[in-house]
Amino acid sequence: MKELSEVYIHLVDDNDIDIAVNTKLLQLSKISEHIYSYNGAVRFLKEVNSGANQFEGHLNVVLLDIMMPVINGFDCLDQLQIMPEETRSKFKIFMLASTIDRNDIRRAESYPMVEKILEKPLDVYLFKKFLEETLGY
Amino acid sequence: MSDKVKLVYLDDEEQNLFSFQALFRRDFDVFTTTSAHDAANYLTNNRDVQIVFSDQKMPEVSGVEFFELIKEDFPEPVRILLTGYADIEAVIDAINRGQVYRYVTKPWDVNDLKICIDNSLEKYRRDKELKEKNSALEKANSELEKFVYSASHDLRAPIVTIKGVINLAKMEDLEEKSKSYLEMIEKSTNRLNDFVTNIVHYYQNMKSDEIREEVDLQSMINELIAKFKDYADAFGIDVQCNVVQSHKFKTDANRLIMVLNNLLSNAIKFSDSNKPKPAIEINVVQNMERAVIKIIDNGQGIEESAISHIFDMFPKSADKNIGAGVGLFIASEALKKLKGKINVESKSGVGTKFIVEVPNLV
């Protein structure tokens, strides 16, 4: 069983303020010390594709915003989906939406990588609870 | 191509067709035939025919039968039956069933026929105008809905960011003054958020179809209470729930959550801080036929004069104006879609009881 603190958290969002706030919240709530952020899915995918070492050797939890320009959350999932199993298995995805649409929920459920869809603003305690469930505590 | 108005005349007696042509070919583009098949073919190739005449008594099909055949595919042209007195009952029946607009008795009086044509052209024009106005209206309506929906959807993103910043700021060590300012900002932001969220929910409710899914009411209510825990704690409210479920339950979960969300948030919002123990009780009894959900609070209660208006879109409340006012309207609209009911019992200063009934769609 993995310790929560061993989990790496990756924030993918096009809004800098949301990233700053969520990073700080996650730090203050001491869920994990390993927090990475990416301004938009393009940068995130680029790093994943280049095999950057912040993804190696541990479980990666991605907080993925849905509404983003160029590549939105679902496009990003589509791209992760076609990567080799070895890469895919490194990620657990939590999607973030400012308004949760029924269609979004249905769509998110069709991706095996997606654990949950969470409403913004991020409720760190709820997130922690889901994270513990995901990791099987 | 002539720009004359097109008429079709179907009759098995050629003599009638000739005299009809003679009467009207100068003013109209008249197509006459003895074959119902040819008449239908002509209509297929000439979508702008405005009036179709038919004799009633014909060997293959009757006039009423012919109209019945073409009514669906060619609803626009006005249908007129030409008939002898003997068939009057068939005519009355046809008019009552909407297959025929007018009838003209044979042998026809030329003046009658002309008046009949004038009236029919007027009807054709009116119908067309109405149809155009209707579709313009529908388009405007759906565009407006789309606009409101996407505008409120887009508005939520920055609101949610503000809420995030407030949450973060509250975790910092702040001066008293800053804290009180922050509280004001938070209150206003929450009001704005509630309002925009409600609008989004309203349009989601309007546009999406009926869904049946299995729902575990116990866990639905538990999640709801967990979601409101901080909010209820802030008012010192004790929230209890008691769920009795005896059968599998199916409904549209999202709509039901929308309803309960609004009721619970109201129960907290309008709690009474003067009561020694502010409390909310949620009782659920569910069986084969339905679920009855009661949300009972000992809050401020509703003035008797206001009770009948609480499900209106923007009810005016005489005293405190805390809510944005659309929540209960949205709850009752969502319940309509669930084919459920909502009732309220309330006494000002004592408390409020909402009773929601939702049919089991198993």
Q: What is the 3-state secondary structure (H, E, C) of B56-104?
A: CCCCCCCHHHHHHHHHCCCCCCEEEEEECHHHHHHHHHHHHCCCCCEEE
Partner B contacted by A121 (CB < 8 A): yes
For B332, residues 6+ apart whose C-beta sits below 8 A from its C-beta are B311, B342
How much is the pLDDT for B322? 47
Nearest chain A alpha carbon to B150: A99
The answer to whether the CB atoms of B168 and A24 lie below 8 A apart is: yes
Give residue A20's Cα distance to chain centre.
Answer: 15
Residue B319 confidence (pLDDT) above 60 = no
Regarding predicted confidence, which is higher, B358 or B325? B358
Burial class from Cβ neighbours inside 10 Å (0-12, 13-18, 19+) for residue B71 reads middle
Residue B155, Cβ neighbours under 10 Å: how many?
19
Nearest chain B alpha carbon to A103: B208
How much is the pLDDT for B3? 82
How far apart CA A119 and CA A126 sit, in angstroms, is 10
Of all helices (H) and strands (E), which one includes residue A124?
A: helix A124-135
End-to-end CA distance of chain A: 8
Residue B194 confidence (pLDDT) above 90 = no
How much is the pLDDT for B321? 47
How much is the pLDDT for B148? 80
The answer to whether the CB atoms of B171 and A98 lie below 8 A apart is: no
Opening angle at CA B360, ends B359 and B362, nearest 5: 145
Partner A contacted by B105 (CB < 8 A): no
Average pLDDT in chain A: 89
For B262, residues 6+ apart whose C-beta sits below 8 A from its C-beta are B198, B327, B328, B330, B331
B interface mutation test: which of A21, A72, A96 has the most B CBs within 10 A? A21
User: Residue B305 is encoded by which pair of tokens?
Assistant: 């004069």
Contact B269, B325 (CB under 8 A): no
Q: Between the CA atoms of B317, B320, B325 and B327, what dihedral angle is there, to the nearest 10 degrees?
A: -120
Q: Give the C-alpha distances (Å, rounded to integers) separating B121 from A94, B7, B12, B126.
A: 64, 10, 25, 9
A67 interaction partners in chain B (CB closer than 8 Å): 157
Residue B316 confidence (pLDDT) above 70 = no
Partner A contacted by B150 (CB < 8 A): no
CB pairs under 8 A between A and B: 48
The answer to whether the CB atoms of B164 and A24 lie below 8 A apart is: no
Partner A contacted by B204 (CB < 8 A): yes
Which of A2-11, B13-22, B184-193, B283-292 has the lowest average pLDDT?
A: A2-11
B163 interaction partners in chain A (CB closer than 8 Å): 120-121
Residue with tokens 């700053």: A20
For B180, residues 6+ apart whose C-beta sits below 8 A from its C-beta are none
- 3-state SS of chain B is CCCCCEEEEECCCHHHHHHHHHHHCCCCEEEEECCHHHHHHHHHHCCCEEEEEEECCCCCCCHHHHHHHHHCCCCCCEEEEEECHHHHHHHHHHHHCCCCCEEEECCCCHHHHHHHHHHHHHHHHHHHHHHHHHHHHHHHHHHHHHHHHHHHHHHHHHHHHHHHHHHHHHHCCCCHHHHHHHHHHHHHHHHHHHHHHHHHHHHHHHHCCCCCEECCHHHHHHHHHHHHHHHHHHCCCEEEEEEEECCCCEECHHHHHHHHHHHHHHHHHCCCCCCCCCEEEEEEEECCCEEEEEEEECCCCCCHHHHCCCCCCCCCCCCCCCCCCCHHHHHHHHHHHCCCEEEEEEECCCEEEEEEEEECCC
Residue B184, Cβ neighbours under 10 Å: how many?
9
Nearest-CB residue to B161 (from A18, A25, A126)? A18
Strongest mean pLDDT among B44-53, B101-110, B226-235: B44-53
Residue B65, Cβ neighbours under 10 Å: how many?
16
How much is the pLDDT for B150? 80
* Angstroms from A84 CA to nearest CA on chain B: 34
How much is the pLDDT for B87? 75
Asked if the interface predicted TM-score (ipTM) of this complex is over 0.85, the answer is no
* Angstroms from B155 CA to nearest CA on chain A: 9
Which tens digit of pLDDT belongs to each residue from A58-68?
A: 889 999 999 89
For A123, residues 6+ apart whose C-beta sits below 8 A from its C-beta are none
Which tens digit of pLDDT belongs to each residue from B270-280?
A: 999 889 999 99
Give residue B108's Cα distance to chain centre.
Answer: 48
Nearest-CB residue to A122 (from B164, B171, B204)? B164
Give me the mean pLDDT over the A5-23 stretch. Answer: 92
B interface mutation test: which of A99, A105, A119, A124 has the most B CBs within 10 A? A99
Contact B195, B151 (CB under 8 A): no
Nearest-CB residue to A25 (from B153, B160, B168)? B168
How much is the pLDDT for B2? 63
Partner A contacted by B337 (CB < 8 A): no
Nearest-CB residue to A18 (from B164, B171, B200)? B164
Which tens digit of pLDDT belongs to each residue from A31-41?
A: 888 999 999 99
* Angstroms from A36 CA to nearest CA on chain B: 18
B211 interaction partners in chain A (CB closer than 8 Å): 102
- 3-state SS of B165-188 is HHHHHHHCCCCHHHHHHHHHHHHH
> Residue B315: pLDDT band by 50, 70, 90 thresholds?
low
How far apart CA B304 and CA B349 sit, in angstroms, is 11
Q: Could you tell me what percent of chain B has a pLDDT over 70?
A: 96
Contact A108, A95 (CB under 8 A): yes
The answer to whether the CB atoms of A15 and B163 lie below 8 A apart is: no
Give me the mean pLDDT over the B45-54 stretch. Answer: 95
